[in-house]
């Protein structure tokens, strides 16, 4: 099931924040959505999840416009992880994760063994099983972020859209989360994540979607999109090469990364 952004424009208040954006995202791949602050990255992801309106164009899952899909059907197909790791009820972590199964339950239906198994898998995959009985108000920001990721995993969506999922995590859990998102994509789902860390994007993503001033600058395989010239033009940074042996990213093995080392306009 492809996720197709077709000439999408979004207006927030009186300002157009996304202009005629187009990209064809494919399942089985991780797409990093990158750009300077205020570029329109979060807006694009929210529009893909039908959480904001649009001024033009559309987002489709294959031939279906996401904005006109039945909400329950859309919720089973698209999982969204917001920037804000806030939970408004101080319930235990397992109950938070179980909320991810709601789109799969019938009216007034009790969770099935399949639902409970999905919750167990999601908590195992995010290393949150030991937090199951703790109220979320007692968790650290990073622990809460992992519980909310588990909630999305529990829903088993065909597409997982995450808005800056690394923000509250320490380096070890950042690496682990990116590896788990790659594993999720390898299972046949599509993953699109908003990132600020250019190195992590190169390590973990197959494709990159670069946005600046509300417009798509480039989209395609990471190695073709994230070049020294393009990064200088979009982010105003100089880069230096670094060999990476992490094994993340398309093909794994050793790859050459471009690491920001300074601003173009710096003295």
CATH (domain of 34): 3.40.50.300
SS3 of 243, please?
A: strand
The per-residue pLDDT for 138 is: 94
DSSP 149: H
Tokens describing residue 170 = 């320490």
Domain span at 75 = 3-263
SS3 of 81, please?
A: strand
The per-residue pLDDT for 11 is: 93
With contact defined as beta carbons under 8 Å apart, do 86 and 137 qualify? no
Query: What's the mean per-residue pLDDT of the chain?
Result: 91
Residue 128 has pLDDT above 90, yes or no: yes
In this prediction, residue 19 has a pLDDT band, given cuts at 50, 70 and 90, of very high
User: How many structural domains are present in the chain?
Assistant: 1
Compute how many other C-beta atoms are within 10 angstroms of the C-beta atom of residue 22.
Answer: 12
In this prediction, residue 256 has a pLDDT band, given cuts at 50, 70 and 90, of confident
Over the stretch 192-244, which tens digit does the pLDDT of each residue have? 999 999 999 999 999 999 999 999 999 999 999 999 999 999 999 999 998 87
Query: Which residue stretches of 62-139 are H helix?
Result: 71-77, 93-98, 113-125
pTM: 0.91
The per-residue pLDDT for 246 is: 65
Distances (CA, A) of 52 to 41, 42, 168, 264: 13, 10, 24, 35
The per-residue pLDDT for 248 is: 60
Over the stretch 55-106, which tens digit does the pLDDT of each residue have? 999 999 999 999 999 999 999 999 999 987 678 889 999 999 999 999 998 7
The per-residue pLDDT for 182 is: 93
The per-residue pLDDT for 141 is: 83
Handedness of CA 45, 51, 52, 55 (dihedral sign): positive
The helix or strand, by DSSP H or E, that contains position 23, with its residue range, turns out to be: strand 15-25
């Amino acid at each position: 099931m492809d996720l197709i952004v077709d000439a999408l424009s979004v207006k927030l208040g009186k300002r157009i924040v996304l202009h005629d954006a187009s990209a064809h995202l494919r399942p089985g791949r991780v797409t990093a959505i990158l750009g300077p602050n205020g570029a329109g990255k979060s807006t694009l992801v929210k529009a893909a999840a039908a959480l904001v309106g649009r001024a033009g164009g559309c987002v489709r899952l294959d031939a279906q416009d996401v904005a006109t899909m039945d909400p329950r059907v859309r919720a089973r197909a698209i999982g969204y992880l917001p920037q804000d790791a806030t939970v408004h009820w101080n319930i235990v972590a397992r109950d938070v994760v179980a909320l991810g199964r709601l789109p799969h339950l019938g009216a007034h239906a009790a969770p099935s063994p399949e639902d409970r198994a999905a919750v167990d898998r999601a908590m195992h995959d995010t290393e949150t099983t030991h937090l199951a009985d703790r109220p979320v108000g007692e968790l650290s920001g990073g622990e809460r972020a992992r519980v909310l990721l588990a909630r999305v995993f529990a829903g088993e969506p065909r597409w997982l859209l995450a808005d800056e999922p690394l923000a509250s995590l320490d380096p070890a859990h950042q690496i682990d989360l990116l590896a788990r998102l790659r594993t999720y994509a390898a299972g046949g789902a599509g993953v699109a994540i908003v990132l600020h860390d250019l190195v992590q994007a190169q390590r973990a993503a197959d494709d990159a979607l670069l946005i600046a001033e509300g417009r798509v600058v480039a989209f395609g395989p990471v190695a073709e999109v994230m070049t020294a010239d393009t990064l200088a033009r979009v982010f105003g940074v100089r880069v230096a090469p670094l060999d990476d042996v992490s094994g993340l990213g398309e093909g794994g093995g050793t790859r050459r990364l471009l690491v920001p080392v300074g601003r173009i306009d710096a003295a």
